[in-house]
Amino acid sequence: MKIKNAALLILAAAMMTPVLASCGETAGNTDTPDAKNPVQTDAVTEAETEELDSLAARKLISDNLGEFDFGGYEYRIVTTDDKSDTIVCEATTGDVIDDAVYARNLAVEERFNTKITCVVDKPYTEAIGFMTKSVSAGEDAFDITSAHVVGLGQVVPSGYFLNWYNIPHIDFTQPWWSESNINDLTYNGVCIAAVGDMAVSAMSAAYCVFYNKVLGANYDMPNMYEVVNQGKFTLDYLVELSKDIYVDMNQNGAVDNDDLFGYTSDCNSNMNTYLWAFNNPVFTKVGDKLEYVYKTDKMPDIVEKLANTFTMYEGIRTDTKYTGGSNGSAHGYSRDMFQKGLSVFANGYISMSLTHFRDMTDDFGILPYPKWDEAQESYYTMADGHHEALAVPKTASDLERIGVITEALCAESYKILMPAYYDVALKVKSARDEESIAMLDMIVNSRVFDFGYVYDGWGGASFFLQTLIQSKNANFESFYAKKEKSVLKYYTKVTDYFENYED
C-alpha cells in the first residue's frame, strides 16, 4: 500500500539522512501573513502535490525560512506532563513515535544551531500557573507553550500572550497549521491560541466511534463503511443498530460494567462532541465577524434526543460516575468496555486505537461521529479539551527566533512526526483494514476548533451538553434561560479582549 510505504520512507529518511545545518546568519523571508492578506509564496503548495501523503510531496513544500544561526540557543517550551514525550525525546528508542520526535527536533536543531528543551512538563494547572506567574513578573522564562487548550484559553483574556500575526515567519496558510487558525480562531486580526502540527494531540485526541467487527457480524450489522460513505450514519441509525443489544454476561440479574451493550459512551467530552458532530457550533465566522450561534432552534431537540438515547434503551449505556478506568479516569468507561469486547460501538478518541486497542483479538473499525440527519452535508468532530494549543508569552525576548523555530518545528512535524504517528503508528500498527484508514482521514479532516470552545474557560456554553445529560435533564430551554446572562457576559469579556487587543 502506497500510503504505508510513504510513511515508512519518511521516518527512515528522517533517521538516516543527514540534515543540512544552518550555514550563516542571513535572514530569510521576513514577510508574515496578516488575517486578511496572507502571504502567497512560489513554493509547491499542498494542493499542487499529487500524493500528499508521500515523502516527496511533503518534502517539496518549502517552509520559506532561509538560513539562521541561533548560536546554540535553548528554545524553551512549557508543556504538560502527558504531552512532553511528543515535544522532546533525548535519544532514539526504537519506538516509532519517539524516534520521529527525536528526528524532528534534530532536524531543527542542526539546521538553526539551537536546542529544543522543556522547561516545564507538569499537570496542566501547574503549567498554566507557571506561565501566568512568570509573565506577570516580567520574566523571559519560556519561548512558547504547547498546553491544554481550554486551560490556556481561560487565561488568554488576562493578557499574557502575543498575537501570532505579529510573530515573524509564521504562515498559517501552510499545511502544518490548521485552517481553523484563520477561519475560526482569528478575530479582529488577532489569533492567540493556535493549532499546529507541533501539537500532535490536536490530531490524536480527535473523537471517533469504534466498531467491534466480530460482534457486529454476530448481530448481522451492515457494512458500516458503506453506511458512512452513503451519508446514512446518523444518531438515529446508530440507535437502531444498538438499542436492543444487551447480554447479562455475568448472569447476576443486574446491569453493570461486566455486561455486553450495543453502544457505550462516556458522559464528558465524548458527549459534548455531539454538539459539533450535529453542526451546532458555539461561534461561527460570518465574513470577518465571529458570531455567537449556540442557541439554535435545533438545540432543544439535540438535548432531548441525546437524553432519550442514553436513558431509554437497554443496549445503550453511559456511566456518568465511572472511575474504573486503568488510571481512575472519568473518561475511561466506553474505552474500557470496548477493550474488553463488551461494546459493539463505543466512542473515544483515535489515539486509543494505539494506546489501548492495539492488542485486541477482535478486529475493529473506526468511524466518524454520526450526523444529526441525512440532510447534514458532512461529518464533524472535535478534539478533546486536553489537546495542545500553541501560544507565545508577551515577555518573549526575540520574536524572530521564536517564529523561525516554531514554524520549523511545525513544518518538520508535518513532514516527519505526523506521518509517523498517523500513517505508521495508527494506520499500520493499529487500524485493522484499508477502509478504516479512509475513515481516519475523514475524521482528521473534519475536526472543528471552535472559538467558543477554545475560549470557553469553563465559563461559556461548550460543556452544557454533558452537564444536561449527566443530570438527566432534557429541558434545555429552562436550563439555558438560567445560564444565558452569565454566558453572554463571559463571551463578551473574551471578544472585548480581541476587539481591544494591544501588544
Return per-residue pLDDT of the chain as tens, 503 residues: 333 333 333 344 333 333 323 233 333 333 444 433 333 333 444 544 444 446 678 878 999 999 999 999 999 999 988 878 888 988 889 988 999 999 999 999 999 999 999 998 888 899 999 999 999 999 999 999 999 999 999 999 999 999 999 999 999 999 999 999 999 999 999 999 999 999 999 999 999 999 999 999 999 999 999 999 999 999 999 999 999 999 999 999 999 899 999 999 998 889 999 999 999 999 998 888 899 999 999 999 999 999 999 999 999 999 765 544 444 455 789 999 999 999 999 999 999 998 899 889 999 999 999 999 999 999 999 999 889 999 999 999 999 999 999 999 999 999 999 888 888 778 877 887 788 888 898 999 999 999 999 999 999 999 999 999 988 899 999 999 999 999 999 999 999 999 999 87
**pLDDT computed for residue 23 by the predictor:** 30
Residue 71's CB: how many other CB atoms inside 10 A? 9
What's at 91, amino acid-wise? A
Q: Which residues pair with 318 in a beta bridge?
A: 265
pLDDT for position 104: 96
Residues in CB range of 262: below 8 A, 6 or more apart: 219, 241, 242, 243, 244, 245, 246, 313, 315, 316, 343, 344, 345
Spatial separation of the C-alpha atoms in residues 349 and 282, rounded to whole Å: 21
Task: Give the pLDDT confidence score for residue 165 in this predicted structure.
Answer: 97
- Give the full edge-to-edge strand order of the sheet including 144-148: 114-122, 73-80, 144-148, 388-391
The Cα–Cα gap between 379 and 447 comes to: 9
pLDDT at residue 321 in the model: 59
CA distance 6 to 54: 5
Nearest to 371 by CA among 446, 441, 285: 446
Question: Which amino acid type is present at position 74?
Answer: E
The residue behind cell 460513505 is 229
Q: Which residues of 226-308 form beta strands (DSSP E)?
A: 246-247, 260-265, 283-286, 289-292
Burial label, 173 (beta-carbon count in 10 A; 0-12, 13-18, 19+):
middle
Query: CA-to-CA distance for 225 and 379, rounded, in angstroms?
Result: 13
Supply 290's cell numbers. Answer: 465571529
- Residue 465's alpha-carbon distances to 44, 46, 185, 267, in angstroms, are 43, 37, 22, 9
In this prediction, residue 72 carries a pLDDT of 97
Short-list 248, 270, 264, CA closest to 344: 264
CB 322 within 8 A of CB 333: yes
pLDDT at 15: 36
**Residue 118 to residues 172, 358, 391: CA-CA distances in angstroms?**
24, 29, 15
First-last CA distance in the chain: 49
Taking CA 268 as the corner, what is the angle to CA 267 and CA 273, rounded to the nearest 5 degrees? 100
Alpha-carbon torsion angle 117, 87, 19, 351, nearest 10:
170
- What pLDDT was estimated at residue 428? 73
| DSSP one-letter string for 361-377 | SS-EEEEPPPBSSTTS-
Euclidean distance between CA atoms 107 and 335, whole angstroms: 36
Alpha-carbon distance 301 to 214, whole Å? Answer: 33
Predicted model pTM: 0.86
The set of residues, in sequence order, having a beta carbon less than 8 Å from that of 229 and lying 6+ positions away, is: none
Task: In whole angstroms, give the CA distance from residue 41 to residue 46.
Answer: 12
* β-strands 144-148, 388-391 pairing: antiparallel
Sequence-ordered strand ranges (E) for 23-112: 73-80
DSSP-assigned letter for residue 338: H
Q: Which residues of 433-458 are buried (b: 16+ CB within 10 A; e: fewer)?
A: eebbbebbebbbebbbbbbbbbbbbe
How far is 75 from 402, CA to CA, in rounded Å? 8
pLDDT of 438: 86
Instruction: Compute the Cα dihedral for 195, 196, 201, 207 and give only its sign.
Output: positive
Q: What is the pLDDT of residue 144?
A: 97
As a 3-state breakdown, the chain gives helix, strand, coil percent values, each rounded to 5, of 40, 15, 45
